Amino acid sequence: MSTGLIEKIIRGRGGSGKWKFYAIATVIYLLDQGTKFLIVQTLPLHDSRVVLPFFNIVYVRNIGSAFGLFQGLGNGTFIVLSVVALVLIAALIRISDNDLYAFSLLLGGAAGNATDRVARAYVVDFIDLYIGRYHWPAFNVADSALTVGIAMLIISQFRAKT
């Protein structure tokens, strides 16, 4: 990391005008944690409720990363990676003038799943989308925010190149 970048992170750019992006991240975090709380309190583990012909509410525990991958890495590794990601994303909001909505979604989503890992040692997933017998791996509000935020960054990069 160059000295200039470290100085930007410490001093920030845009200062107080960035509060709304941290507020968006906070709303995502609260929605994520609130929905997970409701699922844990009202639905038995591995139970399912049909909402629409392509959408169920389920309660599953994910000890891996996206789609349950890398379960062998252990919860401690995921916590460390989450903390590093949270610090970097918060710093990017502080120093950047671009992609702030995307970074807000990433920060809120990463904080939601990190909280699960610290508090429970797994992530609560509950959204089950499917067509017929083919199910997408269960996910949650934090995962949705992360996916949309990443998509926004990818689109931004393609637009910047044209």
Q: How many residues does the chain have?
A: 162
6 contacts: CB under 8 Å, gap ≥ 6: none
Q: Is 47 a catalytic residue?
A: no
32 has catalytic annotation:
no
Dig out the tokens for 9 from the structure.
């992170």
Question: E strands within 8-54?
Answer: 48-52
Quick one: how many helices (H) and strands (E) in the chain? 5, 4
The catalytic residue among 32, 99, 116, 143 is 143
* Catalytic choice (32, 99, 125, 128): 125
Q: Which are the contacts of 79, defined by CB distance < 8 A and separation ≥ 6?
A: 114, 117, 118
Active site residues: 125, 143
